[in-house]
Structure 1
């Protein structure tokens, strides 16, 4: 990875989006590309080609996109839309029709002729995973990926449904592409605060000496949502919290917290260190699953003054569904740095608060010198990395309260993005799409990393699939999950940490 992103590296680029009429395209991809355009990050010569079966003309499709860009772009109203939209085209297509790929090849050749050079060609698969293999094989058959230095293919999650399917997909893709062409996207890795974890850890010498089992008591990673499954019931009921959140987003956060320092900031070296973490994590026995993994499913209740249905009443969900909407797991990393330090992961839907927070709790002082009455509010030091709804990094410490008495109070030392910077932070997809154009894979998952994450979770997935829960639903909407999740930490003398809800959650 270059130390600063260099626009000249990308060159003329043609960007094909399979699933061009889907929500991801209109709500995330096009607004992200538009923001990159506004800030001068797009190549001088580029095309965005949305692929879909709807009979759209270019003009009709551009008009459809404008509504969502006005609504979802962080830049607000699309004042330069006319200039940007001239680069957008709609290609009426069918991913299973060979004619589609022949026409794509002809479009690339025409674009190359106008550009005067071979362009970068990016294929973004914003489609259901069942189409991944078909698209990949046809792209290869029509020589659209022949130059590995110029062509890239981007896959949205989920990448596989389990370990076996992930291996099969990796094997298929490795026969068509080089690993440097494959971009397995996880939008969490594009979030500004997530990227700052590496900077915070490895650019500050004061942290490294205490970033280990000698000083850290435990780590919590909590990603909770107020929303239910909504219109995604059919998909979610075949997935669940483990597949939807833990296997990708949350394990990625764990890797960033626990990884060793890379030799340099190159993509391969950073990703090597992440894979090391996954390979060091203690594998689950059936007894471990029962002891250290908790599942839950939400019931109906009230959220912000409105009654909401239980999971089994959601559209597309089976009436006796065994799918978990909540998961809490205790992991251990068996290496020199982290041996014996528990990592607690939690995620759930219809929770009391929407937030993504990493909490590193340090061990208590070895000897308490202050009188008991002076430290009634005593708290152990914590480093709290808030990804959303607020973006901040805060260190909780003890300090003397003003006055004649020696009274100690917890205080926060805070790095807050809004308070420190006046510029808006880019959306996650802006960062990742720019990296794709520049050929930078640092923030993308590698094949062996995907497989290692699946391998770690398969004992839990299999155990929960084969044994139906008799307690579902076991937590109500607007709660913090099942009581057994609290017990998971309470057995070790800890409790889940939550940030005070001072701002409106982002969904």
Structure 2
């Protein structure tokens, strides 16, 4: 296990809100001992004393209900070095020390190539590891270039392209539910499953993130990584083991099977939009283009929806719909697996049955199965829901990710070819959107998103009906 962690961008929001609380949780659970050392590096002209005071403040604010001694231990081990993260000499000074080091790039992704190049010139100790946040590159060519730089620096097993969604308990329970229950795996295919909706709708608006968000938008920020990762776990073939090779091979197979969208497909099967001024709960929200730091000329979307199909024996004929939106009326964060209707109903004119939907609630975490049963009157159909709540995990998602990094288990990180395949899937969408083949629609903040649009013989697209479903956020009945 590596006992030295260096965070580049150590005074940023990612470090304050997620990495420091994760380290406290690891210490409280006994995963970090007295030998562990935290080094922060950033451009602020601080010394170690001031950094430790800042770490203590952030841990008190975001660190949760962990023992005081665990919080004090993490703050007490912290030291700080001012550094230009693109300067090899500065980086050599920061990573100097005894034994291997885990280097976490809590930085804007645009800096990754320059930082990785500088690390190569600085020389990492043998056995070291590097951690990168999404997105991995800005497009397919950028991902390929970054992967080559990383390959020159470290072996693939030492590169952790982390996606905290993969460490969420319910996300991992997608695999558990499928692979450990005989009742599900035999029907986990297109014969029985009509559609899978992978949704991350949130009431949060920009929240001061224009510096990052206005360069990427919803498609790159959520769909290209988080939601495609969920698609992989839902659609993958059962792996021989959950080891890094078997698991990641099967995820890559899913991405390779995604049928590339033609220009006509992109026009018909994708949507993009951004929010106008509106009201969410008890507060007013300005239009996206009026948010501080936004450049309206970029035409960045805050809502993205993509329908995909997989060319495989298991999934031919099933629609996978990936959608994410900001500043919406309600939070809805789930994977909803919608089963096909039964071939015959012996109930006369008792009404249509409720579709069977298995919902994996992501936030809050939970599991719900929507069924149809017999109501109070004989032969009358009535909706029925079975709900399970997940036990709170001992470690937060970032705690599990950091533990994997420090212990050297890359199974739940993203392999280089997997990152490239994800960009391949969305390249036709990015290209068509850049050429305005798909209109940039608008929706009021606090609404259900862009209004329904005609489809086929005047009917709404199935994706336009997602907001109208009865289940509230998180998969509760």
Superposed pair shares fold, TM > 0.5: yes
TM class by smaller structure: over 0.9
1:338 aligns with 2:311: no
Q: Does 1:299 align with 2:289?
A: no
Tell me the secondary structure at the aligned position of residue 92 of structure 2.
helix
The 8 Å contact of residues 192 and 426 in structure 1, kept in 2 or not, is answered as no
The one of 385, 398, 405 equivalent to 1:429 is: 398
1:225 and 1:350 in contact (8 A); partners too: yes
Counterpart Cα distance in 1 of 2:306 and 2:163: 21
Which of 375, 379, 383 does residue 406 from structure 1 map onto?
A: 379
- State TM-score, norm by structure 2: 0.93
Instruction: Indicate if the aligned counterparts of 1:238 and 1:323 stay in contact, CA closer than 8 A.
Output: yes
Contact 1:292 1:330 in 2 (8 A): yes
Distance in 2, matches of 1:54 and 1:248, equals 31
Task: Give the secondary structure class of the aligned counterpart of 1:459.
Answer: helix
Alpha-carbon distance change, 471 to 260 in structure 1, aligned in 2, over 3 angstroms: closer
Q: Give 1:127 deviation, angstroms.
A: 1.1
Partner of 1:3: none
Matches within 5 A, 1:283-322: 283-322=260-299
Is 1:496 the counterpart of 2:470? The answer is: no
**Which residue, 81, 102, 111 being the options, matches 1:122?**
102
- Please list the CA deviations of residues 415-461 of structure 1 after superposition, one character each: whole Å capped at 9, or x if unmatched: 211xxx3x555211011000111111111111111111101101111
Per the alignment, residue 480 of structure 1 pairs with 448
Q: Displacement of 1:265 after TM fit?
A: 1.1
Gaps of 5+ in 2: none
Per-residue CA deviations over 1:148-177 (Å, capped at 9, x if unaligned) read: xx2100011121111111111111211221
Q: The residue matched to 1:205 in structure 2 has which SS?
A: coil
The alignment status of 1:171 with 2:148, answered yes or no, reads yes
Matching of residues 119-198 of structure 1 within 5 Å: 119-145=99-125, 147=126, 150-198=127-175
Aligned to 1:455: 424
In 1, Cα distance between equivalents of 2:384 and 2:438: 43
Structure 1: segments with no counterpart, 5+ residues: 1-9, 113-118
CA distance in 2, matches of 1:493, 1:34: 41
Distance (Å, rounded) in 2 between the aligned partners of 1:342 and 1:500: 20
Q: How well do the aligned residues superpose, as a CA RMSD in angstroms?
A: 2.3
Q: Cα deviation per residue 1:371-428 (whole Å; 9 max; x = unaligned)?
A: 323x46x20211011001x211111112223x563333221222211xxx3x555211
- Whether the 8 Å contact between 2:38 and 2:79 is mirrored in structure 1 is yes
Distance 1:127 1:153, change over 3 A: same
Q: Deviation of residue 226 (structure 1)?
A: 0.9
* Between 378-387 and 73-82, the greater mean CA deviation after superposition: 73-82
Q: What is the Cα deviation at residue 470 of structure 1? A: 5.7
CA drift at 1:81: 2.6
How many residue pairs end up in the alignment? 472
CA offsets 1:205-264 (integer angstroms, 9 cap, x no match): 111110001111111111111111232223222211111111000000011100000111
Q: Secondary structure at the match of 1:86?
A: helix
Report what 1:387 is aligned to: 362
1:86: how far off?
2.0
For 1:246, which of 223, 226, 230 is the aligned residue?
A: 223
